[in-house]
Amino acid sequence: MPPMQSIEGLASNLNTTEIIDAIIKAERQPATILEEQQVSKTQEITTFKALAAKLLALQTSIGALNNQKNFSQASISVSNESILSATAQAAVGAGMYTLNVLSLARNHQIASQGFDQATQSVFGTGTISLALGNKAPTQITIDEENNSLIGIKDAINDARLGITATIINDGSSSNPYRLILTGNETGVQNKISVSGSLSGGLDLDFETVSFDVPETDGFSIDATSQVSLGATAAYTGTTNKTFTFTIAGSGAQTVGVGNITIGWTDGTDSGSIVVSQADTEIIGPEGLKLSFADGTLVGGDTFTVSTFAPLLQEAADAKVSIGSSEGGASPIIIHSGTNSVQDAIPGLTLDLKAVTTAESGPVTIKTGHDTAAITKLVNNFITAYNDVTEFIDDQNSFDPETEKGGVLMGDITLRTIQARLARLISTPVKGLDRTMNALSAIGIRTGFDGKLALKSPSKLTEAMNEDYTTVMRLFTNSGVSDVYGLRFLSMGPAVKGGESFDVDITRAATKGYLQGGILSNPALTMITLTDANNRIKIKVDGRVSDDIILTARSYSSSTDLVREIQTRIDDDARVGHLGVAVEWVETEAGEGYLKLTSSTYGSASRIETISSVSNPAYAYLNLAGASTVAGLDVAGTINGEAATGQGLILTGDSDNETTAGLQLEVTLTVEQLAEGIEGTISVTRGIASIVKEMVDNVTKSGDGIVDTKIKSLDKQVANIQKQVKAFDERLAIRRETLARDFMEMEIALSQFQTQSSFLDSQLANINANFAKILGNQ
């Protein structure tokens, strides 16, 4: 229905719009009250959301204190970081250590003899056998496609053996190109083993020391004699160096006419040789023999002879001494295959950079718990806790001047949260000694205003220095076992602090393995693999390998065979990192079998062979009918209640009365199991854990106290909005009705006024006519 047109009191002279607005305003008063309630409810929602933000900040800070890893932070001071640096990998105790770096770990590096060029195919064909450390050797095939120095280099690098091949040009006038092999890993265990059998061309030699041909760049144009190596020259030294020879005297001297003295030096030692006739071997230093052709030598001229030793760098371990020799003490020496030394100092990794010298002196490392970091976490918790307390106090405050209180003044939810927080932080931790079972023991007090304060920071520091573990247990969930092999991991809300639980392990966790069939010992009956029968493929803990290609050759020992299989599995891109262990298990009859064992524990731990592989070696290794034995999960009970094992982890069942969610790591072996209980776990629930659990429940999405309150208020606001909308819809109809009534009144009044005017006019006419009649009489 179209709205009524306003006539604004044309007949009555009344402001009908103002009258209608006043009537509507008066009649809308209930809706106005509802809108005021809506504003109030919306303010409550905003305030509860602000409270939730404060609680979430408390949740974050208390969560950091509930994390035992944060208590493992170490304070490390190194006196000379140009020698070594130290980082913490685990909990580090307090201590001071004196160290000397005696040597750094080095990788192995060897060089071949020199060649006159690098690109031509001048080498023979065949195979080069390479290995790093105790890995099985790999055969590199050299054929007509790659029998140049560059081709051999690329073939070695493409094999990815942990050995890098490079070519250098040493700058000599003859045979300057050498193949350099560098082990990618350091340590004496990582030496390069190389052997070759190239035929029909040049071969590589990484073993023979030698002299290079003499370099006569220092000869003047007047010198006509040529110098060359003697036919029987054989280097007896072991290092690469250069001998420099200088012709004594002055002017031209004829070879074979008198004696010509030639001095030499290698930079350290020196001497001289005498040339008395041409084309005769002259004995020089360290097996060097020279021959001078007919002609002249010029006094002051020089020539050089360089030596070549294939060993450029010996593989070496790092060596670090710990302790001081003062007072007759004897430091212990630690060996490491790398320059990253772990656990020489428990919990620390040392990165070695240089060898200590008399000038640098020893390095001092001071370790301790990072009390400053923990103090910061404690202060963060105090700040977040006080923010919540202050926020709730502000809501319950009343300003007598404005006669207004906080938005949530008197709200039972706020009072409940505040009371529960105050009670939890003041409750002693069950299971800890009375001297260290409350916040007051580390200097934290509650003031009259309900706020926390670290009244004595030194008390906290002293407590951490004296008993760091107990301070950690004051805040976190923890457990202490009375037997090695049972370790507390975590616990659920149902587990009460201060309780002790007997643990009965009925089955130890085991690793899965693959067991092959009986084989003759390769030492008695060689196992020969060819390109037609040298592949296996395995599935490790559900992950399938690529084709594992074993070197096609004969294996004459179980050690050789196991090393080959282990190396190729370790090199596999898919399962190499899973830690499969290969071993030969000998039987009483002198035979044996191959056994491949997973590194993991439990029912998911298993190794299988995959039959779909070309050129399989299964029949030759007797793995065709290999038995797959899955690992076993740990089994047992905690406090007499059922528990579920997964690998090494034993967890109390979710419906248990006392141990639901209690997780233990069980590393006990089958041999260590006993009749009855194996040990006892004593658990404590720290203050941070208790408060965090409470805050988690309060702030939990969906059914947490705060979220439930906000949802309830949201519903109330939505309901009010509906009521207001319905009321306004009714008032809109009421406005139309009033407008119509006033319009009808105006129309009726206008009609009355028109009729009245007509009657007045008629009456006037009658009176006039009547007066006229009277006047004529």
For the segment 267-275, the average pLDDT, to the nearest whole number, is: 95
Instruction: Name residues whose C-beta falls within 8 Å of residue 102's C-beta, 6 or more positions apart in sequence.
Output: 319, 320, 321, 333, 355, 356
Looking at the predicted structure, is the pLDDT value of residue 6 above 80? no
Q: What is the CA radius of gyration of the chain?
A: 48
* Separation between Cα atoms, residue 85 and residue 77, nearest integer Å: 9
CA 78 to chain centre: 24
Looking at the predicted structure, is the pLDDT value of residue 543 above 60? yes
* Separation between Cα atoms, residue 535 and residue 619, nearest integer Å: 11
CA dist list (Å): 466 to 93, 205, 454, 463, 481: 11, 64, 18, 5, 21
- Check residue 777 and give its pLDDT: 61
Maximum Cα–Cα distance across the chain: 196
Write out the E strands in 602-655: 607-609, 627-629, 635-638, 641-646, 649-652
State pLDDT tens for residues 674-716.
Answer: 889 999 999 999 999 999 988 988 888 888 888 888 888 889 8
For the segment 198-206, the average pLDDT, to the nearest whole number, is: 94
DSSP 344: S
DSSP 409: T
Percentage above 70 pLDDT, the chain? 98
- 683 and 495 in contact (C-beta within 8 Å)? yes
- 453 and 461 in contact (C-beta within 8 Å)? no
State pLDDT tens for residues 81-134.
Answer: 999 999 987 777 788 999 999 999 999 999 999 999 999 999 999 999 999 999
DSSP 11: T
**Residue 636: count of CB within 10 angstroms of its CB:** 22
DSSP 6: P
Q: Model confidence at 19, in pLDDT bands (50, 70, 90)?
A: confident
What residues form DSSP beta bridges with 192? 132
- Check residue 2 and give its pLDDT: 46
* Separation between Cα atoms, residue 575 and residue 613, nearest integer Å: 16
Give backbone dihedrals phi and psi of 291, rounded to 5 degrees, phi first: -135, 135
- Check residue 361 and give its pLDDT: 92
Q: Model confidence at 8, in pLDDT bands (50, 70, 90)?
A: low
DSSP reduced 3-state for 253: strand
For the segment 223-236, the average pLDDT, to the nearest whole number, is: 96
For the segment 270-291, the average pLDDT, to the nearest whole number, is: 96
Specify the range with the lowest mean pLDDT, choosing from 19-28, 420-429, 617-626, 649-658. 19-28
Q: Model confidence at 668, in pLDDT bands (50, 70, 90)?
A: very high
Percentage above 90 pLDDT, the chain? 68
**Smallest Cα–Cα separation from 326: which of 100, 79, 81?**
100
- 54 and 394 in contact (C-beta within 8 Å)? no
For the segment 255-260, the average pLDDT, to the nearest whole number, is: 94
Instruction: Give one DSSP letter per residue of 462-522, joined into a string.
Output: HHHHH-HHHHHHHHSEEEEESSTTEEEEE--TTSPTT-EEEEEEEE---EEEEE---B--T
SS3 content of the chain, % helix, strand, coil (to 5): 30, 30, 40
Looking at the predicted structure, is the pLDDT value of residue 763 above 60? yes
Which pair of structure tokens corresponds to residue 4?
């009524």
For the segment 723-746, the average pLDDT, to the nearest whole number, is: 83
- 201 and 122 in contact (C-beta within 8 Å)? yes
* Separation between Cα atoms, residue 347 and residue 212, nearest integer Å: 52
Place of tokens 């702030």: 699
Q: Model confidence at 306, in pLDDT bands (50, 70, 90)?
A: very high
N-to-C CA span, the chain: 64
For the segment 143-158, the average pLDDT, to the nearest whole number, is: 95
State pLDDT tens for residues 392-439.
Answer: 888 887 777 766 777 778 788 888 888 999 999 999 999 999 999 999
Q: Model confidence at 3, in pLDDT bands (50, 70, 90)?
A: very low
State pLDDT tens for residues 28-85.
Answer: 888 788 878 888 888 878 888 888 899 999 999 999 999 888 888 888 999 999 999 9
Looking at the predicted structure, is the pLDDT value of residue 606 above 60? yes
State pLDDT tens for residues 443-499.
Answer: 999 988 889 999 888 899 888 888 888 999 999 999 999 999 999 999 988 899 999
